[in-house]
Each structure stands twice: as structure tokens, then as C-alpha cells.
């Protein structure tokens, strides 16, 4: 499996802007460097994409995962017919009581 080939290695792919097409290209390039998406994700599976949503700040602040990066990841997953869920954090006790 692809994971075994790249265990313990890191890759960096530089992206100079948040242009959606460029980000899509760079996210795909990043995944390809570690063996391609199907080396890690089974086609037609359910996948949780967990962006970092630490604070309610503009994407340009760099505190949260930029929405275009999330969109690019979701597009790659949809290409292999995955059911994609996006989520972060836990349900607070106030919300849990209302459920």
C-alpha cells in the first residue's frame, strides 16, 4: 500500500495564492506525492474531512483551513465517488441537551 512507501517522510508543495484552480492542482500534486488518493481512501467510501476551524476569522489570517483547500480535497474525494462529510470540533453540552 502507498502509505508504507512514504511512512515517516514529509513533502511540501508551495502554493503562492488561493486561486481555486491553483489550489486544486497543488492539493492533487500533494496527494500524488504520497501515492495517490486511492492508496489511502477506498473509492465509494464515506470520508470525514476535518478542517481546522479554530476561530471565526477570515481565511487570509491563516488560523483556519482555507475553504478552497477544503473544496479541493472534497473534489478529489468526489472523483472516486466518496460520500463526503465535513466537520470539526465537538458538540457542546448546550447543543447536546437540545438534541
The confidence band for 3, taking pLDDT boundaries of 50, 70 and 90, is low
Say what the pLDDT of residue 8 is: 74
Tens of pLDDT, residue by residue over 8-19, are 778 899 999 999
Tens of pLDDT, residue by residue over 40-73, are 899 999 999 999 888 888 888 888 899 999 999 9
What 3-state DSSP class applies to 22?
helix
For residue 41, the 8-state DSSP code is S
List of residues 6+ apart from 80 with CB closer than 8 A? 37, 38, 41, 43, 44
Amino acid at each position: 500500500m502507498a502509505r508504507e512507501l512514504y511512512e515517516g517522510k514529509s513533502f511540501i508543495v508551495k502554493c503562492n495564492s488561493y486561486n481555486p484552480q491553483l489550489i486544486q492542482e497543488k492539493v492533487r500534486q500533494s496527494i500524488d506525492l504520497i501515492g495517490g488518493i486511492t492508496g489511502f481512501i477506498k473509492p465509494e467510501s464515506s470520508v470525514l474531512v476535518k478542517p481546522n476551524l479554530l476561530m471565526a476569522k477570515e481565511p487570509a489570517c491563516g488560523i483556519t483551513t482555507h475553504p478552497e483547500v477544503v473544496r479541493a480535497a472534497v473534489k478529489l474525494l468526489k472523483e472516486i465517488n466518496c460520500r463526503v462529510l465535513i466537520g470539526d470540533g465537538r458538540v457542546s453540552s448546550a447543543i447536546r441537551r437540545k438534541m
